[in-house]
Amino acid sequence: MLEIDLDAVAANWRILCERHASGDTAGVLKADGYGLGAVAIAARLFSAGCRHFFTAHLMEAMEIRPVVPDAMVCVLHGLGPGEEEAFIQHDLAPALGTLGEVEAWSAAARNAGRRLPALLHIDTGMNRTGLSPAELARLIGDTTMLGGLDLLYVMTHLVAADTPASAINALQARTFAEAASHFPGVRRSFANSSGIFLGEDFASDLARPGAALYGINPTVGRPNPMRPVARLRARIMQLREVAAGEGVGYDHQWVATRPSRIATLPIGYADGYHRVLSNKADVSLDGQLCPVVGRISMDLITVDVTECPTAVIGDWCEVIGPHVPVERLAALAGTNGYEILTSLGRRFHRRYLGA
């Protein structure tokens, strides 16, 4: 069972709003709300007062639009070929990251006979999406290319916000300020989750937090200022006694060194519980951490519950939650909390608290 605390999401948004006093704070709902349910989360954030939302794909934006009726909804991947009509029909704003997109959206505005909303994405060092320096120079030299567009914000994306000491942060701040100065009167959108905590140089008219909304720590190496949002639990489906010297799971990658009690849980890498966590992770049973032993398989894991002699079939084990933070799993898996949450599969029953 995957429990999502929507009140905690709203509380995290308010914390971020307080930190970003220079302007508004959006909600980023990429990847189905970081794997937790974009529609339910969007509805809760909207009820809390959030009026700016970002998705990666057009389809994601179309899915949340009915529950955020008068909010700005921006598609970060921009305007794809032939998508103009869908953007207009659902009142969505593309983040324009190429001159081709600018020209196509301007043409759509002329055809529609009205101004169309857009954000202008400027690349300041990521070298991934956004107008390149050469494209930006061309646009600055001929701003008529923006004709017909209601330019809501100019935006960029931080490369290393979770590494405060990185020199690229200050460089991006200077580069973005210079680029944005060529669009007087247009509001600016800068900081992501970690960027909100970098200081005044990263303040803007609109911050775009994602991970922090979902309880992932935006201040690496410091106490997490956010509330936990997700709790994943699985029931014990089998219990067995294993003698010392016996192996468990595929290839017997774990061998008991003592008489052991092994619990089997119906969760595996098909559910996003990464195989690399084999013999590394643990789950919590009544507050007691119990190690995952043996190789994680597609649908099952095995756990050493020898230290929990009262465990019975049907008991719930916490896989992610207060006793097993997502950051701990991420560190053990050699990844980040984003990947842990967005990997969570569709087989879990999702229960929304505070809906």
User: So which residues are the catalytic ones?
Assistant: 30, 250
Degrees (nearest 5) of the Cα angle 143, 148, 153?
A: 70
DSSP 79-102: --TT-HHHHHHTT-EEEE-SHHHH
Cα–Cα distance measured from residue 306 to residue 294, given in angstroms and rounded to the nearest whole number:
15
Give the strands of the sheet with 282-285, arranged side by side. Answer: 238-242, 260-265, 301-304, 288-293, 282-285, 316-320, 230-235, 2-5, 350-353
User: Does residue 74 contact residue 187 with C-beta atoms inside 8 Å?
Assistant: no
Q: Which of 283, 346, 322, 284 is nearest to 36 (CA)?
A: 346
Please give the DSSP secondary-structure letter assigned to residue 122. B
Bridge partners (DSSP) of residue 131 are 122
Please give the DSSP secondary-structure letter assigned to residue 228. P
Q: Which of 338, 347, 327, 350 is nearest to 30 (CA)?
A: 338
Amino acid at 147: G
